[in-house]
Amino acid sequence: MKVITKTEKARTRSKSTQSKRGIKKTENIEFIFLGGLGEIGKNMLVVETDTQLFVIDAGLMFPTDETPGIDLILPDLSYLFKKKDKLAAIFLTHGHEDHIGAVPYILREVKAPVYGSKLTLGLLKAKLEEHRIKAELREVNSRSKVKFQDLKFEFIPQIHSIPDGFAIAIHTPYGIILHTGDFKFDTSPLPGLRVHYERFADLSKKGVKVLLSDSTNADESGITPPERVVAERLKEIFVRAKGKVIVASFASHIHRIQNIFDAAKNTGRLVAVSGRSMRQSMQVALETGHLKIDERQLIDINQISSFPSHQICILCTGSQGEPLSALALIASREHRHIQIEEGDTVIIAASPIPGNERRVSSIINSLLKLGAEVIYPKEYGVHVSGHASQEELKLMINMVKPEYFVPVHGEFRHLIRHAKLAEEAGVKKENILTLENGNSFVLSRDGVSIGKKVEAGVMYVDGLRIGDIGQAILRDRENLSKGGIVFVVVAIDEFTRRIVYGPDIISRGLVLNEDLLEDAKERLTKKINQIISEEEIVDLALLRKRINDSVSGFIFDKTRKRPMVIPFVFEV
């Protein structure tokens, strides 16, 4: 990975421009949101000039109960792919999945250098290797300034729930655009971290035209508690725990993982890790120096039965209730190496993302039934957010003093609340732009104006298939999960036009008793014979439709369920 520093500035140019002399001054700069507005996840911003195009973050969302069978949800990348010849660079604010997860799918179609911090690029590199993609990765640090023609991208360190995050200031001919990335102003930061207040104040002096600011916690009053609070709480829990301690956390929350190892070492516990993503993130963080542990403290997961329970800590995935995660397997007694015993302590060191509450609650209930003590954020303070609350958001606005304000990264309620905070902090109401995915704004010598609207839906990843999964397929899957499926098999003699086999009715995922099945077959036989007798030529397609309607209606009348009905009608 090439390191970009202040003394070695990257001066990447289009092929037609090899020197500063002759560069055409940018007329309009358009900022197009392809994801991250009105939702938590798949953050993606396109910055487009007359000749070049840049991407800031390209994230994903994980599937919910409303997207059965889907593996990942990406922003709609069609706008980017239509203009792929203009793509000059991809900039990443930090290494969370909702900011880097879609990058491999972009680099499948188009090549461009990717700029990010050491940890961010380390996490991305592991993903690219899985996808067998080679990419040009350019490492930036707090002194880096990357120039493309008359745009300059400056990187300002931010404190978040993953190390090595940045805000990005875009210096343009018409003023500075500041994208905060995900951040909080930690009042008691962990060693080696600090808020760069002076950098933001310096930008304010130069003139910030537009501030794009993280809205995730815009409806949370006060300030976000520091990570030190969790570190102290974990130590207390480890000291009083009698059996095994099992901690589920985000794999990317390196600060939290460090705190867990520190608490385990403080109480003489060995640590075993369960979950592929957790092991992968830890390996990257160890290589980049962001995780510092005594490797003698680590044991393999299949060795835990060789030690007393009070000497064991297990770090695992599954804080969001993911069905096949380590914690879910533990809760269902299906984990090959980990069994809950009376007196074990399970810590869920993360708050559920909206939509995951039910799954997390189910796992908590299962663990309690098995005899574990379960400790989770709402009651025990074992998690703090990595996002700024209201007072910090107002502080950012007051420091930067932007002329225009755009709330980003949040559900619509967060964006609206953040817009009100900006107005309270002194931004003119008419200069606050509350946008949605597909919206854009334009920066030019005349100021800031609303730009064009583009297609900004989603692309589904379903196994090896990408982007060709429609709503109709999702509806079918949802219907199957709720109503089951019914097969109807009928064979008709093409000469005598009599039923020679069936109708046979077979159900899966729907309980139909014998009496109901016999009643359905009898009614269906009469219906088929009636259709055959009324038609000179039997249209098999029409017959299948009428069988479908008849069986669907009958089953709904009797069960109030709507299964998917698939008729197989043959002439023999």
> What are the catalytic residues?
214, 387
Contacts for 567-570: CB closer than 8 Å, 24+ residues apart: 567/487, 567/488, 567/490, 567/543, 568/487, 568/488, 568/489, 568/490, 569/490, 569/491, 569/492, 569/540, 569/543, 569/544, 570/490, 570/491, 570/492
Torsion angle, alpha carbons of 43, 464, 285, 310, to 10: 110
Q: Cis omega (within 30 of 0) on the bond before 503?
A: yes
Tokens of 374: 């379960």
Cα torsion for 385, 390, 394, 400, to the nearest 10°?
Answer: 20
DSSP string, 75-111: E--HHHHHTGGGEEEEE-S---HHHHTTHHHHHTT--
Q: Partners of 346 in the beta sheet?
A: 246, 374
How many angstroms separate the CA atoms of 327 and 304, rounded? 16
Report the alpha-carbon distance of residue 545 to residue 530 in Å, rounded.
15
For residue 96, which of 119, 67, 71 has the smallest C-alpha distance? 119
Residue 310 per-residue DSSP state: G
Contact 127, 293 (CB under 8 A): no
CA angle 459, 385, 326 (to 5 degrees): 65
Amino acid (one-letter) located at 213: S
